[in-house]
Copies of this chain bind each other. A is one copy, B any other.
């Protein structure tokens, strides 16, 4: 695994996940996160509005990356091919920190109602960004919504498998596999 030198933002995310896991989300304060990350509270608040937002820090980036990947897909790409290219864009931005934090983030989210809500909003937001990007390409509404939900499912499934594995492959290896499986499942529904 390559050596990874985190900046202040990354250190805060790691510190928050560690503290949420060790002592629970409710018991963790912004002051504790800042202290463990070696930054001041005001640095924390320059990056995040709230401790809750630390775990979904990448949400907007995620939506932007997938939208851009879809917009840049060749004109003749099918809706799912465009989604797949969007997920490749996301994959290219995810490094070893994302991979290592995955299982711990998941545990912290599972243990807190507040984080589960934030996570749910992330899923819904990602689906909306994906379907908007497809509709902007001229994909009909119903098709765009279905393709977007498949993209979100593929992202979640792919990310889980990637975080659990130590194979020398990137996230896209798993998201593409998951998307193919979901496409086959969809075809069988008809």
Contact = CB atoms under 8 A, between A and B. Distances in A.
Given A117-B118, A121-B120, A142-B184, A189 B78 contact: yes
A140 interface: yes
Nearest to A147: B189
A189 B190 CA distance: 10
Copies of this chain, how many? 2
Contact of A186 (B121, B123, B153, B186): B186
- Chain A, interface size: which category? 20 to 34
Contact of A117 (B117, B142, B147, B181): B117
A122 to B, nearest CB: 8
19 contacts: A117-B118, A117-B120, A117-B121, A121-B121, A124-B124, A143-B185, A145-B182, A145-B185, A146-B149, A146-B150, A146-B185, A146-B186, A146-B189, A147-B189, A149-B150, A183-B189, A187-B187, A187-B189, A187-B190
